[in-house]
């Protein structure tokens, strides 16, 4: 059976790192790639950032590879994550030999709740100069992400599980989040620690080696994973998977990077590593391992893009990875 992979480059450097990743995937697997549009440029042309056709194709594909969202992120990436019914956003952040990292001992995985919190999109202007945002935390979604996080830690050999929250301030919502995590941990006889997310940000910066899997509400996961990118050499290195029961979408943690878009110098590693997660999801475990080791080898020996101190282009790095494969 030939799997269908939907490819949505999106905005900015998504247009550069996604074709690079398709090139790498083509070197190891025989997928049928279907390309679709979404993003700021589509909104400018058609008035709609996420065409219904793109959404439909995501629901039908075996997996989706997404690049980057710009100003229309809320209209593009959130509905696409919903289209594949993803409830968990997995964001590994690890340091690589040869890459100049602030904290070379970092090996973290953020397991981010992907359906609710403040990213539910319930915002309004209730009066002139007065705006509100509703934070939705449900017991079901909290239990589901906790269960996924504990299972991920057990399956991938992480002893330390930390749950990020701010229940001393958001007593009702994060109170419920913590209760749900505690119930799941009890059922699974799993150990974990609770950490206030603001203090956790500092501790991750100072002693990342004390942490493994970090289970987070939605916004906290988005922010803490970007912080972790800073520990390992930048956003060019962090892949992610948006996982549902039957479908999944893979994307780099970084956004559209308008400052470097169009220059051909974006680091493709984060998207190519997301491609490795896609391969694993479709049970191409050996191919996923090969892609990871090719990326690691190029990160160690070069060529490197300017974000990692080199002067190579996206194409140079991609060609070196394909060459290693
Ligand atoms: N590829 C990730 C991306 O486009 N990020 C832009 C962004 O604003 N993301 C918000 C989120 O990850 O929830």
222 is catalytic: yes
Write the residue with the smallest CA distance to atom 8 of ligand 1.
73
Q: Which among 194, 114, 117, 110 has a CA at the least distance from the CA of 149?
A: 110
pLDDT of residue 1: 84
Write the residue with the smallest CA distance to atom 1 of ligand 1.
68
* Options 191, 198, 210, 301, the catalytic residue: 198
* Options 166, 174, 284, 290, the catalytic residue: 166
Q: How confident is the model at residue 268 (pLDDT cuts 50, 70, 90)?
A: very high
Evaluate if residue 60 carries a pLDDT over 90: yes
Beta-carbon contacts of residue 145 (< 8 Å; ≥ 6 apart): 87, 88, 111, 112, 113, 114, 215
Evaluate if residue 91 carries a pLDDT over 90: yes
CB-ligand 1 contact for 257 (6 Å cutoff): no
CB-ligand 1 contact for 11 (6 Å cutoff): no
Q: Which atom of ligand 1 lies nearest, measured to the CA of 73? A: 8
Q: Which atom of ligand 1 lies nearest, measured to the CA of 81? A: 13
Q: How many CA atoms, within 13 angstroms, populate the side-chain half-sphere of residue 286? A: 2
Q: How confident is the model at residue 69 (pLDDT cuts 50, 70, 90)?
A: very high
Mutate to test the pocket of ligand 1, among 7, 15, 72, 73 (most ligand atoms within 8 A of CB): 73
**What letter would DSSP give residue 2?**
P
Look up tokens 């493994």; give the residue.
Answer: 212
How confident is the model over 103-128, as a mean pLDDT?
96
Strand pairing category for 248-252 and 107-113: unpaired
Per the CB < 8 A criterion, the answer to whether 59 and 247 are in contact is: yes
Q: How confident is the model at residue 38 (pLDDT cuts 50, 70, 90)?
A: very high
> What are the tens digits of pLDDT across the range 179-203?
999 999 999 999 999 999 999 999 9
How confident is the model over 268-280, as a mean pLDDT?
98
**Percent of the chain residues topping a pLDDT of 70:** 100
Evaluate if residue 27 carries a pLDDT over 90: yes
Q: How confident is the model at residue 305 (pLDDT cuts 50, 70, 90)?
A: very high
> What are the tens digits of pLDDT across the range 135-174?
999 999 999 999 999 999 999 999 999 999 999 999 999 9
> What are the tens digits of pLDDT across the range 202-258?
999 999 999 999 999 999 999 999 999 999 999 999 999 999 999 999 999 999 999
Burial zone of 244 (CB within 10 Å; 0-12 exposed, 13-18 middle, 19+ buried): middle
Q: For the beta carbon of residue 141, count every other beta carbon within 10 angstroms.
A: 21
* Options 222, 290, 307, 316, the catalytic residue: 222
How confident is the model over 16-40, as a mean pLDDT?
98
């Amino acid at each position: 059976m030939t799997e269908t992979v939907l490819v949505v480059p999106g905005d900015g450097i998504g247009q550069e790192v996604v074709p690079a990743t398709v090139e790498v995937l083509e070197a190891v697997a025989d997928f049928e790639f279907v390309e679709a549009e979404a993003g700021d440029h589509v909104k400018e042309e058609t008035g709609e950032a996420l065409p219904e056709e793109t959404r439909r194709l995501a629901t039908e594909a075996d997996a989706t590879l997404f690049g980057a969202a710009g100003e229309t992120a809320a209209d593009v990436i959130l509905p696409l994550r919903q289209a594949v019914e993803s409830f968990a956003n997995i964001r590994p952040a690890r340091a690589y030999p040869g890459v100049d990292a602030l904290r070379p001992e970092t090996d973290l995985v953020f397991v981010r709740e992907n359906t609710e919190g403040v990213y539910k999109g319930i915002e309004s202007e209730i009066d002139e100069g007065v705006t509100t945002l509703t934070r939705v935390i449900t017991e079901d979604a909290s239990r589901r992400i906790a269960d996924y996080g504990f299972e991920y830690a057990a399956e991938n050999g992480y002893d330390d599980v930390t749950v990020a929250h701010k229940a001393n301030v958001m007593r009702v919502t994060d109170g419920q989040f913590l209760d749900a995590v505690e119930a799941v941990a009890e059922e699974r006889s799993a150990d974990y620690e609770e950490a206030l997310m603001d203090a956790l940000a500092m501790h991750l910066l100072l002693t990342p080696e004390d942490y493994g899997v970090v289970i987070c509400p939605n916004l906290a996961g988005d922010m803490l994973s970007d912080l972790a990118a800073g520990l390992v050499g930048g956003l060019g290195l962090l892949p992610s998977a948006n996982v549902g029961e039957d479908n999944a979408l893979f994307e780099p943690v970084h956004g559209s990077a308008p400052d470097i878009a169009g220059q051909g110098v974006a680091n493709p590693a984060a998207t190519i590593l997301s491609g490795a997660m896609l391969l694993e999801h479709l049970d191409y475990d050996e191919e996923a391992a090969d892609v990871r080791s090719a990326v690691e080898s190029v990160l160690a020996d070069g060529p490197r893009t300017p974000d990692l101190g080199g002067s190579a282009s996206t194409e140079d790095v991609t060609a070196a990875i394909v060459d290693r494969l």
